[in-house]
Structure 1
Amino acid sequence: IWGLCILKRICQQCHAEMVNDCAVTVQGGMYGIKISRKGNGLFNKASAIPKAAVCPNCGGVAFYIDEYKQFKK
């Protein structure tokens, strides 16, 4: 597929390749968390659902979003 880029995330602690696309939820809650930025104007708001990458070697966790380009000003 053209334009599809699968980013390999590397653990900052032990430098192993991380497992991407893990869900982020709040324990005991029905909903996860959401990252948003309020912009100027009616349609200038950005929001994304975060995902996590987990290191299978040391257990390190890194959060990321796929829609990061929406947050550029």
Structure 2
Amino acid sequence: MRMKCNQCQSEMIADCRVNVEGARYGIKIIKKGKGLFSNVSAKPKAAVCPNCGYVSFYIDEYEQFKQ
């Protein structure tokens, strides 16, 4: 996935992991569904601009959130 920086329009470095210091599990994006097992979740990734340091978060499984 090619991403451009919103600040300086440089090509960003994608597919970086997101971790929370001191926590083993990181963070998750969750959309609550209507049934018992209908929750949708994804681990976010980050893209970093090597020119200005801008960081953008995204998920690869965005199609699952369209319900």
Secondary structure at the counterpart of residue 64 of structure 2: helix
- Once the two structures are superposed, residues 2-50 of structure 1 have per-residue CA deviations (whole angstroms, 9 ceiling, x without a partner) of xxxxx21100000000000000000122121000001112342110000
Counterpart secondary structure, 1:8: coil
- Aligned partners of 1:64, 1:41: CA distance in 2, in Å? 26
- The residue number in structure 2 matching 1:26 is 20
- Report how many aligned residue pairs link the two structures: 67
**Structure 1 stretches (4+) deviating beyond 3 angstroms?**
none
Structure 2: 5+ residue runs without aligned partners? Answer: none
Which residue matches 1:4?
none
Q: For residue 66 of structure 2, what is the aligned residue in structure 1?
A: 72
SS in 2 for 1:17: coil
Aligned ranges 1:8-19 → 2 under 5 Å: 8-19=2-13
State the distance in 2 between where 1:67 and 1:42 align.
Answer: 21
Gaps of 5+ in 1: 1-6
| Paired amino acid for 1:53 | A
RMSD of aligned Cα (Å): 0.9
Could you tell me the percent identity over the aligned residues?
A: 63
